[in-house]
Amino acid sequence: MTTRSPHHAVTDAQPLIEVQGVTKRFGGVPSLSDVSLSILPGTVHSLVGENGAGKSTLGKLISGVLIPDEGVIRLDGHPVSLRTPREALSHGIVTIAQELAIVPGLSAAENVFLGVEPRWVWAVKRRELRQRYLELSERLHFNIAPDVVAGSLSIAGQQQVEIMRALARQARLVIMDEPTAALSGAEVEALHEIILSLANEGKSVLLISHFLSEVLELSDSITTLRDGRLVRTVTAAEATESSLIEGMLGRTLESAFPAKRSATSTGEVVLSIKDLVAPKVEGVSFELHAGEILGIAGLVGAGRSELARAIFQDVRRKGGEIRLGGQPLASRSPTVAIERGMVMIPESRKEMGLFVGRSLKENVSISALRSLSRFGWISARREREVVGESMTRVAVKAANTVMPASGLSGGNQQKLLFARTLLCSPKVLIADEPTRGVDVGSKRAIYDLLVEMAATGMGIVVISSELEEVIGLAHRVLVMKGGRIVKELEGEEMNQKTILEAAFAGTLMVEEHQ
């Protein structure tokens, strides 16, 4: 593990960045109100808060994407006007956003030095470009070949390319917005090492993250925002997960999960899977009962999401039987699955769930257009009514239903998918990573919603990489490995140790992962 000097060793240094009394409004509504903070050189400074608290807005103000309506930003003690990301870059401020910005058709080396390539008057100095890339990757202990096409890399590899690009531009402050949201466990650990090594080199890192354990592990200072206002800034030593949650929500989080309601394994079987074979799924069988929340756990690559898509008919199954409500689901179409009463919330809401450029109303009503239309014409009045009712039921916070889905926070975008599913009156819900990229307050709202849906008799399958989430919600847990179910757990057996033992099948020491 990379280490660095403790926070108190740099408290006498002049701040690299000072934000003083900054306010930013959108349409007259404040996203940030009178916020001030200081970022010291060679430190990791984290921003925490619920989605919509203003974290990303503050990062965009510092990086020149947005311009403050009030207040001042100082660099090395001097006021600066950062009106574009290029101006921020000229001062050594670089952002690595959650949505990565590589050029997929260029090589890794070309991406790293894009715009600052060593050149002759008319051409790039290819040999020098390659040499500089190799020197930089060696310094960071990265193992990405200079000529590999950047678009072929994993998300973690693309992040490494962006980090190298930041350092190739002599970055002094690297802003990272939810950098680990789409990474596996090993990739997260590697990125943590990189963040600490950047601080060791004297760089400053502004980390925006909803993973509180990550924030506490990496940070020197932590700033909490709530509703666009500064709650407090403390050192990591002064903070705990509980104190951060209390600051983010304005109240204590009495319990991470709602109380479990009883579910009986002798009730109606709403979904039956027998010997299902599909890509990365090898002969899976199980039953789901009405009112039951069934958790599916396993390591990355175990086949969890592939199983969900095979059940939902989103990928072609090679064999096996699916019974929905006691009747065979012979058709291999998600549309028929929906008509028969099965809905799915996919693991990536932006890539597989939402039409982010379309209105909230269109995103919700698309699941029920047949019932809302007559002779091919949609009843606008009826659409407004049912969409409004469904959004109210799942507590989507939005100014109106005609705004684009892209304008919502991550938590509200996720709840929008739940609003869509409810219009189908489903018997079975498959929720794949239902709280990915969602803040702690919205997580609890989604947990409450899942429990309420199960209480109506709906059968729910929850797939999650967070073991606490699976254990906290599920009545039973199925553990997958290599496309197969290797263990079924319930009651007191449902704990992290037994799940990890089954997932690793004794090949690793479980104690290291608790």
What CA–CA distance (Å, rounded) separates 436 from 159?
A: 19
Token pair 């619920």 is at which residue? 50
Count CB-CB contacts under 10 A for residue 200: 13
Residue 74: CB atoms within 10 A of its CB come to 16
CB atoms within 10 A of CB 14: 11
Q: Give 186's DSSP letter.
A: H
Q: Give the C-alpha distances (Å, rounded to integers) separating 196 from 13, 184, 222, 253, 514.
A: 19, 19, 15, 30, 23
The CA distance from 157 to 79, in Å, is 36
The DSSP H or E segment spanning 146 is none
Characterize the bridge pairing of strands 204-208 and 44-48. parallel
Give CA–CA dist 422/337, Å, rounded.
Answer: 15
- Please report the pLDDT score of residue 514 as a whole number: 39
Burial of 365 (0-12, 13-18, 19+ CB in 10 A): buried
3-class SS of residue 514: coil
Q: What is the pLDDT of residue 252?
A: 60
Banded model confidence at residue 5, pLDDT cuts 50, 70, 90: very low
Cα–Cα distance between 180 and 342 in angstroms, integer? 31
Q: What is the mean pLDDT of residues 479-490?
A: 92
The DSSP code sequence of 469-499 is: HHHHH-SEEEEEETTEEEEEEEGGG-SHHHH
Confidence band, pLDDT 50/70/90 cuts, at residue 12: low
Burial state string for 312-349 with b = 16 or more CB within 10 A and e = fewer than 16 = bbbbebeebebebbeeebeeeebeebbebbbbbbbbeb
pLDDT band at 211 (very low <50, low <70, confident <90, very high): confident
DSSP for 392-449 reads HHTT---S-SSSBGGGS-HHHHHHHHHHHHHTT--SEEEEESTTTT--HHHHHHHHHH
Kindly report the CATH class assigned to 269-341+426-513.
alpha beta
CA 69 to chain CA centroid, Å, is: 29
Judge whether residue 6 has pLDDT over 50: no
Looking at residue 437, its pLDDT comes to: 72
How far is 230 from 76, CA to CA, in rounded Å?
A: 22
Segment 173-201, tens digit of pLDDT = 999 888 876 666 677 787 888 889 889 98
Cα 76 to Cα 66: distance, rounded to the nearest angstrom: 20
* Fold agreement between 1-92+174-252 and 269-341+426-513: yes
pLDDT per residue as tens digits for the range 385-427: 888 888 888 878 887 888 888 888 777 888 888 888 888 889 9
Radius of gyration of the chain (CA): 25
Q: Is 127 exposed, middle or buried (0-12, 13-18, 19+ CB in 10 A)?
A: exposed
Specify the 3-state DSSP secondary structure of 288: strand
Query: Does the domain spanning 1-92+174-252 belong to CATH 3.40.50.300?
Result: yes
Lowest mean pLDDT of 85-94, 212-221, 500-509, name the range: 500-509
The angle formed by the CA atoms of residues 422, 428 and 430, to the nearest 5 degrees, is 90
Which of 253-267, 339-353, 355-369, 480-494 has the largest mean confidence? 480-494
Q: What is the pLDDT of residue 255?
A: 61
Q: Hunting for tokens 């900054």 — which residue is that?
A: 22
Token pair for 138:
């060696």
Write down the domain spans for the chain: 1-92+174-252, 102-171, 269-341+426-513, 351-419
- Which conformational region is residue 275 in: left (phi greater than 0), alpha (psi within -120 to 50 degrees), or beta? left
Q: Is 502 helix (H, G, I), strand (E, B) or coil?
A: helix
Choose from 57-66, 154-163, 352-361, 438-447 the range with maximum mean pLDDT. Answer: 57-66
Q: Is the pLDDT of residue 265 over 70?
A: no
